[in-house]
Amino acid sequence: MRPVNTQQNRQTTAPAHRHLSPRWALASLALSTLLASLGASVAAVALPTLAQALDASFQQVQWVVLAYLLAITTLIVSVGRLGDLMGRRKLLLAGIVLFTLASAVCGLAPSLWWLITGRALQGLGAAIMMTLTLALVGETVAQEKTGSAMGLLATLSAVGTALGPSFGGMLIGGFGWQALFLVNLPLGLLTLGLAWYSLPVRQVPPKTEGKRFDVTGTLLLAITLAAYALAMTSGRGSFSGLNVALLLIALLSGGLFIRAQSRAVSPLIPLVVFRDRLLVSGLATSALVATVMMATLLVGPFYLSIALGLPAALVGLVLAAGPAVAALAGVPAGRLADRFGVIPMRLAGLATMALGCLMLSLVPPALGIFGYIMAIVVTTLGYAFFQTANNTAVMADVAAQSRGVIAGLLNLSRNLGFFTGACVLGAVFATAVATNDISRAGAEAVTKGLHTTFAVALAMVALALGIAWKCRVPEPLPEPRDNPGQA
């Protein structure tokens, strides 16, 4: 079970000094979140330009996006654990430096493979920033304001996602594709300076002193996650023998990882944490919700362009409605979680998402843009409420020496949900449309695909709601063991 964040834990991590107010510290965490999110979304718009400029095929240039996402997914838990052991402030600063230098490598890359290498390094820096910003909230913000802080981070993440395509298009049009990455140099230096001067310097908790980083566990987990992510994204919509082989590799290495963790003196992920119902339910619901949200990104463009007959420019504007709602709702969702409690707000968010999915599973084309936007607004509003409350609930009672790895697991659950949604709900949509060439599908077939996909999504949200309801009252947690790896 997760170690309790006792008063003793708080005292052992008391800051040695503060340079600036907690607001500036929170601002540095928010900027780190924005940079990592922007790095994921800004490159997608450049793929056609990159294919032409670097004389590469689409299958080759898509690795510019995939390398970034794979680096985040495979290493996000490991960097959280490393932050717990060596100090989160120190590792976050290193992550910002790595992200900034890798951006320079990308911007100056003479070939596609240099660019892909730079993007993988960028992804490692982003994994550090995404994980440790969540973990550091507990050290920079008063406990009664944790929800508001989590809401701010969620807002900046949504802003980065929404801003990426339009910002990237503007940079490409004005300065060329290199500007997509070189713009991170001043932004990275600003974030680094703010984090350096504002984040409190804290001593490494005594319980982590002398513990070693689990290299074997890190390698096995990386292989497991990389194989799973590739299985979910390879094949361009078809599930072939390669996908099956990758899934088998993921299962085998996953089993070896669990065995290694049960025997490790200082495991990467102490298996005892999975006895905590609130943590497990938070991770499971996060993965299910992310799976559903990926469907909005996959299915929405086809419905808008084919069923509603919208031009590409208007499709882009409509698709921006979801991230815009998430950005606007993040901070209010955090304040509501602080006021009414994270468990009620988590249930309310899932219930709202269920209503949105029901609307999407029934919306007729006759309602046009209005009907689709209303359904997306409701779905995304529920997602914003859920994500903020869930992140706060999971991180609330985590001991100082475990915040990094738990934050890594929370981010990992969301990323795995996105990969799974791309594969599973993408397959549901393709099956419902019943054509091999989606560009030639009729409006009626695409509408049927939308309705079927979100009927399945509604079932997933209902499952998440059932899990959250069953685990709404956390079990009393025992005092942490000295050696959690020997469960």
Tokens of residue 333, six digits: 């969702």
Question: What is the pLDDT at residue 126?
Answer: 92
What torsion, rounded to 10 degrees, do the Cα atoms 10, 16, 19, 21 define?
20
Average pLDDT over residues 395-424: 80
| Tens of pLDDT, residues 220-237 | 988 998 888 888 776 655
Given pLDDT bands bounded at 50, 70 and 90, which one contains residue 18? Answer: very low
> Residue 74: which residues within 8 A CB-CB, separation 6 or more?
221, 222, 225, 226, 229
Radius of gyration over alpha carbons of the chain, in Å? 22
Average pLDDT over residues 279-307: 87
Decide if pLDDT at 397 tops 80. no
Give dist(CA 297, CA 162) in Å, integer. Answer: 12
Decide if pLDDT at 400 tops 80. no
Which DSSP helix (H) or strand (E) runs through 303? none
Indicate the range of 201-215, 357-371, 385-399 predicted with least confidence.
201-215
Tokens of residue 10, six digits: 């708080």
Closest CA to 135 of 98, 85, 185, 188: 85
Angle formed at CA 180 by CA 189 and CA 190, multiple of 5 degrees:
15
Burial of 374 (0-12, 13-18, 19+ CB in 10 A): middle
| pTM, two decimal places | 0.77
Give dist(CA 45, CA 50) in Å, integer. Answer: 10
Cβ 149 vs Cβ 334: under 8 Å? yes
DSSP state of 441: -
Per the DSSP assignment, residues forming a β-bridge with 4 are 398
Average pLDDT over residues 23-37: 87
Indicate the range of 7-16, 54-63, 258-267, 327-336 predicted with least confidence.
7-16
* All domains of the chain in start order, with CATH: 19-199 (1.20.1250.20), 214-267 (no CATH), 275-474 (1.20.1250.20)
Decide if pLDDT at 21 tops 80. no
- Whole-number average pLDDT of the chain: 81
Question: What is the pLDDT at residue 205?
Answer: 55
Give the number of residues written for the chain.
487
Give dist(CA 404, CA 406) in Å, integer. Answer: 6
Decide if pLDDT at 258 tops 80. yes
Of residues 174 and 18, more confidence is placed in 174
Decide if pLDDT at 363 tops 90. yes
Cβ 310 vs Cβ 369: under 8 Å? yes
Average pLDDT over residues 137-161: 77
Tokens of residue 269, six digits: 């992920």
Given pLDDT bands bounded at 50, 70 and 90, which one contains residue 342? Answer: confident
Average pLDDT over residues 87-107: 92
Question: What is the pLDDT at residue 59?
Answer: 67
Cβ 429 vs Cβ 305: under 8 Å? no
Residue 250: HSE in the Cβ half-sphere, 13 Å Cα cutoff: 16
Closest CA to 9 of 407, 479, 390: 479
Residue located via tokens 């907690």: 22
